[in-house]
Chain A
């Protein structure tokens, strides 16, 4: 496609969102990229150097000399950061898998329900998404605590003698993520399954495939796009999650969102936090780019 010049009216239409995005998204992102190369000082803002419009060009040059990659080196050498990245990826990965295992049969059951029921069912499944995320996470505290409802119920049934510790564990964080992000997995898988031509399953059965074969050879492979989209929609925000590990996790639950938060608010180490943020974004871009490339590749193959 060739770019073409816009008319004045089009320019004016585009200007407002473009300027907003530039001022409040692109510029701030560039700023933290720059802060990530600075070093921490006790001041406000708590980093050096600062490039001021009143500086001369030579001042800027001198200041640019002091920029450093030390903060990025620290990300790798400091075990706190490194462990937090690994554990964030692990927790998000496990949570994504569990979400998939919960969401797939649920989505399948909805997609196979009578057509007239489907809008109602999908609406009912998506409705919690409209309610407060914070409240939904909070609801689990009352369930998971030592003196919470699940432990009480299990003890009342005589299944356990003493409460199992569920609250303030990594497991609780996984449960919280699964619960909060279920709609993000559910909807794309449902869309993929609902759009499938029932004739394909009949054709497979007609050609001798047992119901299990039909699922493994037709239904599952044809829902791949939905599964991948759902997994990304859960995994990516889960890696950077702050609220869930902070509320449901233990003091030893390491997640990068939490470390960032503490560095920023408690330690006032903005350069370190910025470097961690930039690194996080880079890590999360990898699966997205791979996915996009795979889609492009497939698209070309089909042409």
Chain B
């Protein structure tokens, strides 16, 4: 590659990453700003983080969000695995197309529409909204993502390995459990994390599906954000960003170690 095009390539990369990261970094820096104003640097301070600790409502909603994310991601990963197994191993069964379409539809469906549909359904059935309906909503939203991820992983598995296991006397179910499952373990983990992240992050579906007792963290953040920039929100955002950064860093390390 010529030096000139090399230079252009680096400049484009730099510009792209600045665009991606500058807003996040600025947000994080501002969370340590002693001044309440965005535009004035009032010195370094951790007082907004201290204020967070006293914000009972925020802490309560964070608890609810993490619980809902853990529960819904577990269910969605399990259902996604069953759906992916059905789609990749059962050949073309009747109503496969309907199932395939329905499993993938929430991927492209605007969240507002899915939320509206779920809420109408809960009201029509007379179900009181709260933590349970929140989890149901998030499972429905995230299970299409887990299905897609696991389907890709299962299709990537060499089918002859399972055939070999069956040839050696394993039933199809045992062959799957002993041969395919260990191979897709990393995909299972990343499907769970994806579902967890989406659930933790979701605002739209939660607004439709949850009730007064179970306000999630994004909903709490949203109601404050609508009032404008707030240093406390900067602080909680930075905490969440830091959490994700640590998780990504750890998974990258784990992957590098696994490669070796």
Contact = CB atoms under 8 A, between A and B. Distances in A.
Q: Is any CB of A less than 8 Å from a CB of B in the complex?
A: yes
Interface of A: 1-6, 9-10, 13-14, 16-18, 20-22, 24-29, 31-32, 35, 44-45, 50, 102, 105-106, 108-110, 112-113, 121, 123-125, 127-128, 130-136, 138-143, 145, 147-149, 152, 179, 182, 211, 236-237, 239-243, 246-247, 257, 260-261, 264, 270, 273-274, 277, 280-281, 284, 288
B104 to A, nearest CB: 10
A281 B109 contact: yes
A148 to B, nearest CB: 6
Contact of B79 (A1, A17, A136): A17
Contact of B229 (A22, A44, A141): A141
Contacts of A3: 92-94, 96
A127 to B, nearest CB: 6
Q: Which 5 A-B pairs have the closest CB atoms?
A: A240-B110, A28-B117, A17-B83, A106-B16, A139-B23
Interface stretch (B24-32, B43-51, B56-64, B179-187): B24-32
B204 to A, nearest CB: 6
Contacts of A5: 93-94
B152 interface: no
A131 B24 contact: yes
B221 A25 contact: no
A148 B24 contact: no
A32 B117 contact: yes
A187 B209 CA distance: 31
A106 B79 contact: no
A184 B117 CA distance: 26
A10 B93 CA distance: 10
24 contacts: A10-B86, A10-B90, A13-B86, A21-B99, A44-B123, A106-B13, A109-B9, A123-B248, A124-B17, A128-B21, A130-B248, A134-B225, A140-B23, A141-B225, A141-B228, A141-B229, A142-B27, A142-B30, A145-B38, A241-B110, A242-B204, A247-B225, A280-B113, A281-B109
A243 B237 contact: no
B1 A32 contact: no
A10 B91 CA distance: 11
B257 to A, nearest CB: 15
B190 to A, nearest CB: 11
B203 A125 contact: no
B9 A24 contact: no
Interface of B: 1, 5, 8-10, 12-13, 15-17, 19-21, 23-24, 26-27, 30, 37-39, 78-80, 82-83, 85-86, 90-94, 96, 99, 102-103, 105-106, 108-114, 116-121, 123-124, 136-137, 139-140, 143, 147, 172-173, 197, 200-201, 203-204, 218, 221-222, 225-226, 228-229, 233, 237, 240-241, 244-245, 247-248, 252
Nearest to A13: B82
Contacts of A236: 108, 110
B23 A143 contact: yes
A9 B16 CA distance: 50
Query: Which label, helix, strand, loop or mixed, suits the secondary structure of the B interface?
Result: helix
Contacts of B5: 211
Contacts, number: 238
Given A136-B23, A136-B24, A243-B204, A125 B17 contact: yes
Given A21-B99, A45-B124, A139 B24 contact: yes
Contact of A145 (B78, B136, B172, B229): B229
B26 A142 contact: yes
Contacts of A260: 112-113, 116
A112 B124 CA distance: 55
B82 A284 contact: no
Contact of B112 (A128, A148, A242, A270): A242
B229 to A, nearest CB: 5
Contacts of B86: 10, 13-14, 17-18
Contacts of B85: 13
Contacts of B121: 24, 27-28, 31
B90 A35 contact: no
A109 B13 CA distance: 6
Contacts of A28: 114, 117-118, 120-121
A107 to B, nearest CB: 9
A108 to B, nearest CB: 8
A125 B20 contact: yes
A31 B39 contact: no
B13 A281 contact: no
Contact of A148 (B38, B139, B201): B38
B255 to A, nearest CB: 9
B102 A21 contact: yes
Nearest to B208: A264
Nearest to A128: B20
Contacts of B172: 9
B103 A277 contact: no
B120 A35 contact: yes
Contacts of B226: 246-247
B201 A18 contact: no
A294 B248 CA distance: 38
